[in-house]
Amino acid sequence: MIDAGFGRLTDPPASLLLGGVRVLDPSAGTDEVRDVGIVDGRLADPATVPAGAPRIDGHGLIAAPGFCDLHTHLREPGDAAAETVASGAQAAARGGYTTVCAMPNTDPPIDSPDRVRSLLDAGRDAACRVRVIGSVTVGREGMAVADLEAMAAAGASGFSDDGASVPSADTAVQALRALAGLDRPLVEHAEDADLAGGGVMRAGRTASELGLAGWPAEAEVAVVERDLALAAETGARVHLTHLSCAASLEAIRRAKADGVRVTCDVTPHHLAMAETWIAGDRAFSWDEPRRDATLAFDPMCRVNPPLTTREDAAALLAGIVDGTIDAIATDHAPHPAERKLVPFDQAAPGLIGLETALSLGLAAVEAGALPLAALVAALSSRPAAIIGEARGLVVGDVADLVVFDPSARWRVDRPTLASASTNTPLLGMTLPGVVRLTIADGRVTYRA
Amino acid sequence: MTLGAPTRAWTHRHLLDVDTLSREDIERVLDLAEEMREARETRAHRSLLDLETVALAFYEPSTRTRVSFELAAKALGATVVDLAVERSSAGKGESLVDTLRTLRRVGATIVVLRHASSGAPYLAARETDLSIVNGGDGVHAHPTQALLDALTLREALGTLEGRLLAIVGDVAHSRVARSNIHALTKLGARVRVGGPSAWVSGFEDWPGVQVATSLPAALEGADAVMTLRVQSERGAVAGVGSLADYVRDWRLDEERMALASPGAPILHPGPTNEGVELTAALANGQRSRIGRQVEHGVTVRMAVLALVAGVA
């Protein structure tokens, strides 16, 4: 077993003993301090761990099911300067993830069974399992629906034209009819391009003050409402990703109550960073704003959907607590420096998130804004269920877990990041939560 | 050399906007600008900036701002280079940051930056070790314009404390209006913005700002009136009907100005559209301070350059 650094899914299965660790297993509803044994990659009775196997002192650490990211941009094929499957998977392992879902808006897009298989193959010896989301439409052009059935047979876990919504209701209906029999979700980036109208930050007081073009909340809500109606109509599953508006959440809450097959996620940055960050605020949304005007217009804060209001961020946190929001997904969006070293309105939208998601969640936990158990469930078992996978810490299962120190702190610096890109406004900040060990599919993929 | 009588030290290496200046900072700029008026005639400070190289990087067209910065820098003895964007690498797609870093390497110490993107000067200040003076960024800020407007108003009204200033026109797309709101409210004035509703939307929540959607409501009791350029080149007439509608409802004339305080001065950041924002008679009449604004443009920029260079 490695002492420190990254492993691969092709490494030999691990055997080790984790002594006295706090085990949080949301699927079993357990939270207890005990020993955890792993023998040949499977969870085992600690007494059966071979005498020579490594022992890790787990005091003060938390063991949880491996995290599953429903929304990751690995940038392969076509943009190796930003990220590769290998570098993105290491960033995932370092963040406690054992599974990531690669988004299909690559160059070329993942819109055929061959491309699905090729990306799955590229992930087989990575530091994290790579699942593939296929394009909904051919060429991700929003026109003709791609061969979803063939891509599903090739292993696609869901379908999305992420970066944009499926533009017309007509196309969305065709896609949902095809998906109804496949039990794969339509993963929708909800944004009406006309209503968004070229806005670069949430419309409102801060946008007015900064003189930046506003992106109204209705741009998201309109598509959410449309897709909920279409999901009800077709019986297919819709997963609404990176929600940013309280009104979207309200609509989903009602639809869930009506039995519509809908799930949703929110990003760590929409929870933690309000739109005031664009004006130089660097306090989390649950704290009092703390503005440093010299940080205003930081292109690292440009993201789509744009950072939300403090009120909406509070509503999104409440949505995790009450279960309306199923998952926290990173929308990990690496960009090389030159795409961010430009004025705010010209910057490529997006920020990296795999290595900071747990830390932002733990910051919310420390502030009393989020219960730890809800955070762990939203990072692990609940997103895994959306792609049809189970996560638990039951003896006999293949070991798939993360061990982290919730109170240790680390500074987000460029050299510390495993991602090939470092685009995040968190650079220079000190955050709680350090991952000590990640085991994916029975193999140690990260240890620190 | 000691200039002015600072009550506290000037600490700003950049001038990005007025919002981070204190009231004392703003008054210091205005006082220093008044000194510069006289000094300019006597050439008393002709070597104040002789160690500085001021580069003018205007990514949008400008006459009065660019020329007044050039004259201000030269009056203080700085070396001045004008980055003619259309004839430089910047015009060939070189990034803003790369262009500015090149200017630094060839010796520039202060850059006056005008850019179509709101916030571009903040990027420049973070990513280079140049001293950055914002010459207008997108629809965000135009701090030297606000400072020269504040000086013009202080000269006309004696003080801004408790005074009511009306800003009329396309406020939503005006960097001049935004910086003026910051400057004038810091100096104790109240600001009322007036215009067709699409042109004043988003300002309802600004502290110290009232919104008026008719000209009489905007002018009622105003101690001074600033009318903004109708910027048809930014598509600004869109959303409010035709130019003729704007002229009918919003053009300032002598009769409408009767609603304001007697003798209330009129300002305009220029260039005016003849007969659109105000009548020619008003523009050239007793109330008009438009010429004075232009004169203050040079002296305020002399003061700003001296302050950011740390020599005043």
Please determine, for residue B238, whether its predicted confidence score (pLDDT) is greater than 70: no
Q: Is A419 part of a structural domain of the chain?
A: no
Whole-number Å distance between alpha carbons of A262 and A323: 13
Per-residue pLDDT, averaged over A227-252, amounts to 98
For the ranges A77-81, A233-237, B40-44, which has the lowest average pLDDT? B40-44
Confidence of residue A139 (pLDDT cuts 50, 70, 90): very high
Nearest 5°: the CA angle B51, B54, B55 is 145
pLDDT band for position A121 (cuts 50, 70, 90): very high
Residue A269 counted as domain residue:
yes
Q: Which of A205, A296, A346 sits opposite B117 (nearest CB)?
A: A346
Predicted confidence at residue B84, as pLDDT, reads: 81
Distances (CA, A) of B206 to B17, B175, B181: 16, 15, 9
Using a CB-CB cut-off of 8 Å, the residues of chain B touching A344 are: 117-119, 123
Residues A167 and A34 in one domain: no
Question: What is residue B90's predicted lDDT score, i.e. its pLDDT?
Answer: 75
> Which residues from chain B sit within 8 angstroms of residue A297, using beta carbons?
118-120, 122-123
Average pLDDT, chain A: 97
Q: Please, which pLDDT band fits residue A81 given cuts at 50, 70 and 90?
A: very high
How close A344 gets to chain B, by Cα (Å)?
Answer: 7
Q: Which of B115, B118, B126 lies at the smallest CB-CB distance from A294?
A: B126
Residue A202 to chain B, least CA–CA distance (Å): 12
**Statement to judge: residues A50 and A69 lie in one domain:** no
The ipTM value here is: 0.94
What is the DSSP secondary structure assignment for residue B289, as one 8-state letter? -
Are B96 and A214 an interchain contact pair (Cβ–Cβ within 8 Å)?
no
Residues of B with Cβ-Cβ distance to A343 under 8 angstroms: 96, 115, 117-120, 123
CB contact under 8 A, A343 and B119: yes
Residues paired with A239 in a beta bridge: A187, A263
What pLDDT, in 10s, does the model give residues B139-169? 999 999 999 999 999 999 999 999 999 999 9
A423: in domain: no
A426: in domain: no
Whether residue A24 is found in the same domain as residue A119: no
Cα–Cα distance, B72 to A137 (Å, whole number): 59
Of A213-217, A406-410, B246-250, the least confident: B246-250
User: Would the CB atoms of B140 and A345 count as touching at under 8 Å?
Assistant: no
| Domain ranges, residue A80 | 64-386
pLDDT at B58 over 60: yes
Shortest distance, CA B139 to any CA of chain A (angstroms): 5
pLDDT value of position A269: 98
Put simply, the answer to whether B119 touches A214 (Cβ < 8 Å) is no
Quick check: A131 pLDDT over 80? yes
**Residue of A206, A209, A346 to mutate when probing chain B, most B C-beta within 10 A:** A209
Percent of chain B residues topping a pLDDT of 90: 82
Instruction: Collect all residues with Cβ–Cβ distance below 8 Å to A162 and sequence separation of at least 6.
Output: A71, A103, A104, A105, A133, A187, A189, A241
Per-residue model confidence as pLDDT tens digits over B102-125 = 999 999 999 999 999 999 999 999
**A45/A125 same-domain check:** no
**What pLDDT shows up at residue B4?**
53
Asked if B203 and A299 come within 8 Å (Cβ–Cβ), the reply is no
Residues A27 and A132 in one domain: no
CB contact under 8 A, B118 and A342: no
In the prediction, which pLDDT does B1 show? 44
The DSSP code for A399 is: P
b/e A291-324 (16+ beta carbons within 10 angstroms → b): eeeebbbbbbbbbbbbbbbbebbbbbbebbeeeb
Q: Specify if A417 maps to a domain.
A: no
Q: Do B119 and A205 lie within an 8 Å CB cutoff?
A: no
Instruction: Supply the pLDDT for residue B98.
Output: 96
A331 is catalytic: yes
Does residue A110 share a domain with residue A244? yes
Q: Do A210 and B137 touch (CB under 8 A)?
A: no
The pLDDT of A356-365, averaged and rounded, is: 98
Chain B residue with minimum CA distance to A294: B122
Q: Classify residue A427: in a domain, yes or no.
A: no
Residues of B at the A interface (Cβ-Cβ below 8 Å)?
16-17, 19-20, 95-97, 115, 117-120, 122-123, 125-127, 137-141, 172, 175, 178, 202-203, 205-206
| Interface with chain A: mutation pick from B122, B129, B132, B231, highest number of A CBs within 10 Å | B122
pLDDT number for residue B235: 46
Whether B202 and A207 lie within 8 Å, measured CB to CB: yes
Are A49 and A103 within one domain? no
The answer to whether residues A121 and A223 belong to one domain is yes
Q: Please check the confidence at residue A212 and state whether its pLDDT lies above 70.
A: yes
What is the reported pLDDT for B3?
Answer: 57
Number of domains in chain A: 2
Digit-coded pLDDT (tens) for B272-282: 998 999 999 99
Contacts of B206 in chain A (CB under 8 A): 205, 208-209
**Which one from A326, A331, A400, A405 is the annotated catalytic residue?**
A331
Q: How confident is the model at residue A162 (pLDDT cuts 50, 70, 90)?
A: very high
Q: In sequence order, which residues have a C-beta less than 8 Å from that of residue A318 and are 6 or more positions away? A: none
Q: Which residues contact B174 (CB under 8 A, 6 or more apart)?
A: B139, B167, B228
In this structure, is residue A211 part of a structural domain? Answer: yes
The amino acid occupying position A221 is: V
In terms of CA atoms, which chain A residue is nearest residue B94? A342
Please judge whether A343 and B96 are an interchain contact, meaning their C-beta atoms are less than 8 angstroms apart: yes
Instruction: Kindly report the CATH number assigned to the domain that includes residue A18.
Output: 2.30.40.10
Per-residue confidence band for B8, with pLDDT thresholds at 50, 70 and 90: low
Domain containing residue A375: CATH number? 3.20.20.140
Q: Is the pLDDT of residue B244 over 90?
A: no
Question: Can you tell me the mean pLDDT for B54-74?
Answer: 95
Using CA coordinates, name the residue in chain A closest to B126: A294
Nearest chain B alpha carbon to A292: B20
Higher pLDDT, A61 or B39: A61
Cross-chain Cβ contact B119/A207 below 8 Å: no
Which residues partner with B132 through β-bridges? B111
- Nearest CB to B139: which of A211, A298, A342? A211
Report pLDDT for B237: 64
Report how far residue B158's alpha carbon sits from residue A160's, in angstroms, rounded to the nearest whole number: 64
Contacts for A74 with CB less than 8 Å, ≥ 6 apart: A83, A84, A85, A88, A89, A100, A102, A103, A106, A119, A130
Confidence at B126, pLDDT banded by 50, 70, 90: very high
Is residue A126 scored above 90 in pLDDT?
A: yes
Domains of chain B by start residue, with CATH? 23-141+294-308 (3.40.50.1370), 143-291 (3.40.50.1370)
Nearest to B95 among A214, A296, A342 (CB): A342
Task: Say what the pTM is.
Answer: 0.95
- For A276-324, the pLDDT digits (tens) are 999 999 999 999 999 999 999 999 999 999 999 999 999 999 999 999 9
On whether both A186 and A225 belong to a single domain, the answer is yes
Q: In this structure, is the dihedral angle defined by the CA atoms of residues A262, A160, A399 and A57, taken in order, positive or negative?
A: negative
Average pLDDT over chain B, rounded to whole?
A: 93
**Alpha helices (H) in chain B, listed in sequence order:** 23-42, 64-75, 96-105, 120-127, 143-157, 175-186, 197-200, 215-219, 243-250, 254-257, 280-283, 290-308
Q: Does residue A43 fall inside a structural domain?
A: yes
* Interface contact A208-B202, CB threshold 8 A: yes
- Structure confidence at residue B87 as a pLDDT band (50, 70, 90): confident
Separation of alpha carbons A93 and A280, rounded Å? 31
| Three-state DSSP class for residue B293 | helix
- What residue in A sits closest to B137 (Cα-Cα)? A211
Residue-wise pLDDT for A387-412, tens only, equals 999 999 999 999 999 999 999 999 99
A280 and A235 belong to one structural domain: yes
Contact B124, B113 (CB under 8 A): yes
A140 and A93 share one domain: yes
> A230 with A313, same domain?
yes
